[in-house]
Amino acid sequence: MAAPRILSFAPFGLFRVHHQLDAVVGTSLRLRGAEFALVGCDGIYKNCDVLAHSGDNWERDCAACTNAGRQFFGQFQIPTFQLRQCLQLSDWEEARQWASTIAESDYQNASFQGYPIGDWVISSIFSLFRITHDGLSDPEVIKVFHQYLINGFVTIRAMTRIIQQYQPTGMLVFNGRYAPYRIALELGKLVNIPVVTHERGYADDTFFLFENYSAIQNQPTRDCYQYWKDIPLKETELQRVSDYMNNREAGRDSNFTPFVTYTTEYDEARYRLRIPDGKRIFVVFTSSEYEVAYCDDFKTPLPQLEVIQRLIDVFRDRDDYLVIRHHPYLAGNPSSQPDRIFLNKVFRDSASLPHNVRLIMPSEEMSSYALFWIADGAISFFSSTGLEGLFRGLPMACFEQSRFRDGIPFHLKDFSPDGLSTLVDTLLDYRAQFGVHDLQRLFRFQYAVIGRLSLKFKSFGFKDTFDFDLRFQSTDQLLPGHDEILDRLCNHFLLGSSLHSTPTSADRDIDASGESQTLSNQLQAIRQFRTDLDLRAQRFRSTRIEPKLCVIPIQSTSIATSPSFDWIQHSRHKNISFTEGTPSSYDQYSDLLSKLKKVVEKCSDEYCVIADSRVSYTECFASHGIDTLMEEKHRELSGVCFGMWFVDNQQEIITGLFSKRSPGTSFELAKAHYPPGLEMPILLSRVLFRTSRLLDLLNSLQSYPQDNESLTRGLFDILNSGQFFCTVAQSVVVRS
């Protein structure tokens, strides 16, 4: 009988943190008598997920990736097919000729000889540019998409030849979503080769293993839960779920770097949103649209923003409050672009919000964990916040297409106004009925995900999240009997045994009374915590005052329109006034400073903002700024600086500044990034000042050279010094 032959597809050499699994499993299989080979990349992709941000340095970075893969796999002496070696010049010419025949508007449907190449590579396009189908017409997207079609074509050619030559009985593929990996997965499935995909698991130092599914598809999670949903959890398993949930809030145990590190005091959250005591709160947690676009499993009858707009209409005539918490990832970070298309829609929709709707923008530092405790009902369309809210006794609903739906009791089905209104009522009323059975479903589902699907190898794992960690001293430790999960995966390839454990007769005989008692105690603790929190929140609110914010409007010399103060209508902070005798014109910045000084000297309000006519503010600007300055630890601050979005006349985002992605750490860098953002009136407008300190600032600027450039640079340096000012969320919108 011929030995099993396993083929690993591992083109991205810099993905060693993931491909350590391929290397160790391949070595282990060879020790067990199987044949194992891998497919590497020797630089055939000009554009790929590794080179997404390389720009003109793509050749250097490509070579580094290729060399990293060769060096890493070389130490295991694994036979390797290089993609380029399996291609001919005619393949490249045919690929380019084929791609040139596809209309730019039809790239997503591009197909060759029955291979839906456009569909197989589009997920990478979405993640590279942080877009959905709405963004495919962008010229830069079209350019890269065109190259991805060529990449897909030649990958199919090379992999088809490799599969025909090697005749694998099984395949091992990372992720199954990124463009080349998706192609390897689909090609294996087409010729009935079992394909095991792997990805980092949901808990620290764990991996997912799926067969014939990509790492983002829903079915493996649902299958696992169905196997185990009727099996009571042991005390150690219940404790593991509790620890995991608490760790997540602390930014640990997610097997990834937390996107946000800030916290919000639970007892301050309602006040920060300026929601009166006694009003019920309904929260909607959104997900990144481009992540939803990755997979057909996530296709919903309506997009998130359309559901939100309908919910806003439902709440227009209600006494309850609706809070919309947009996912922090939408604002971007140093390595990821903001989702501009999504944010553009949010900005447009925010102009007509009723008084009882609060909009938490992605960059606003409001923790979802605080919202769980003040809410009475919630929707989490796709994300794990649905599970985390339930853990804290919050009734939750989700899309039926969510990976987490089996752990969440209510699902979005009827999107009519009456249907959504009924769902809102059901969730708001259900908090009093929330019971042990709800926690039981949650705990069993969550343990299925982190304790049964998320597998920990003894031989290797993650070091500092993004680095590989080989934990064996010799290959003898990769023989059977040393690593239970490694043995299981090898036996799956060799013997066809299951990748995951299934319930035994002993599991089915577990007494459920212990689980019920533990969850009953958990429920009582939740109820008591909520009661105590309500009292603490009321006491906190009773100590707060609503100081007046003075707005000093100035007319920009570069735009003819009058200042717009529509933002005040939607401001959470309502105690706002305007000064008289504000500067309506100025020739030089020095002239503006003199006029501002006269106005500020007459201002008796504790806080103020200079509002250029090109500027508007999100609803949290005034409340967030004042709340920050009123904190004891910030008593010495002169003001709070906010990040900025720049929009064109169509209210489309051009760029951002003073944000995670574009921090503006120096005057030169900020000016190079977006010169209009460095006008002195704009810089002044991004700050909520203590009025007395603003006067000090204006006086200090008189010591600088009085030309516009020097004054702007001086103001920039003062605001960015970190000594008297702090920078927070992007809440300033500048019409450019």
- Give pLDDT tens digits for 271-293: 999 999 999 999 999 999 888 98
Q: Are strands 467-470 and 281-285 parallel, antiparallel or unpaired?
A: unpaired
pLDDT at 261: 86
618 near 731, Cβ under 8 Å? yes
Nearby residues of 506 by Cβ (< 8 Å), 6 or more positions away: none
Domain 244-441: CATH superfamily is Glycogen Phosphorylase B; (3.40.50.2000)
Distance of CA 212 to the CA centre of its chain: 26
Which of these, 730, 622, 721, 732, lies nearest to 684 by C-alpha position? Answer: 732
CB atoms within 10 A of CB 648: 10
- Using CA atoms, how far residue 703 sits from 80, 698, 706, 719, in Å, is 68, 10, 8, 16
Residue spans per domain, the chain:
5-225+455-495, 244-441, 549-735
- CA dihedral over 249, 251, 256, 258, signed as positive or negative: positive
**Common-topology check for domains 5-225+455-495 and 244-441:** yes
Instruction: Provide the CA 587 distance to its chain's centre, in angstroms.
Output: 45
Other Cβ atoms less than 10 A from the Cβ of 671: the count is 17
If residue 644 lies in a helix (H) or strand (E), which one and from where to where? strand 639-647
Beta bridge partner(s), residue 80: 38
Provide the β-strand partners of residue 207: 200, 455
Counting other chains too, the contacts that 312-319 makes at CB distance below 8 Å and 24 or more residues apart are 312/349, 312/353, 312/354, 312/357, 313/417, 314/417, 314/420, 314/421, 314/424, 315/282, 315/354, 315/356, 315/357, 315/424, 316/354, 318/356, 319/279, 319/280, 319/356
Placement of tokens 């000009």 in the chain:
46
> Residue 488: CA atoms inside 13 Å, Cβ hemisphere, count?
17
Comparing C-alpha atoms, which of 49, 179, 48, 51 is closest to residue 122?
Answer: 179
Measured CA to CA, the distance from residue 302 to residue 300 in angstroms comes to 5
Which CATH class for the 549-735 domain?
alpha beta
Q: Which residues contact 676 (CB under 8 A, 6 or more apart)?
A: 646, 682, 734, 736
Q: 3-class SS at 639?
A: strand
pLDDT, tens digit (0-9, with 9 covering 90-100), for 323-352: 999 999 888 877 788 888 999 999 888 888
Closest CA to 364 of 729, 736, 720, 14: 729
pLDDT of residue 560: 55
Show the low-confidence residues of the chain (pLDDT under 50). none
**Residues paired with residue 112 on neighbouring β-strands, in sequence order:** 115
Q: Which residues contact 387 (CB under 8 A, 6 or more apart)?
A: 245, 396, 404, 407, 408, 442, 445, 446
| Lookup: tokens for 371 | 């919202």
Q: Supply the DSSP symbol for 336.
A: B
List, for residues 549-571, the tens digit of each pLDDT value.
999 999 876 655 555 678 898 99
pTM: 0.95
Query: In angstroms, rounded to a whole number, what is the distance separating the alpha carbons of residues 37 and 6?
Result: 7
Architecture of domain 5-225+455-495: 3-Layer(aba) Sandwich (3.40)
Specify the pairing of strand 321-325 against strand 396-399.
unpaired
Q: 207 by DSSP, 3-state: which?
A: strand
Q: Strand runs (DSSP E) across 69-120, as ranges?
A: 80-82
3-state secondary structure labels for all residues of 156-190: HHHHHHHHHHHCCCEEEEECCCCHHHHHHHHHHHH
* Residue closest to 598 by CA, chosen among 580, 618, 574, 624: 580
The whole-angstrom separation of Cα 83 and Cα 80 is 10
String of b and e for 26-52 (b: at least 16 CB within 10 Å)?
A: bbbbbebebbbbbbbbbbbbebbbbbb
Q: What is the pLDDT of residue 439?
A: 99
Q: What is the rounded CA–CA span in Å between residue 22 and residue 38?
A: 8
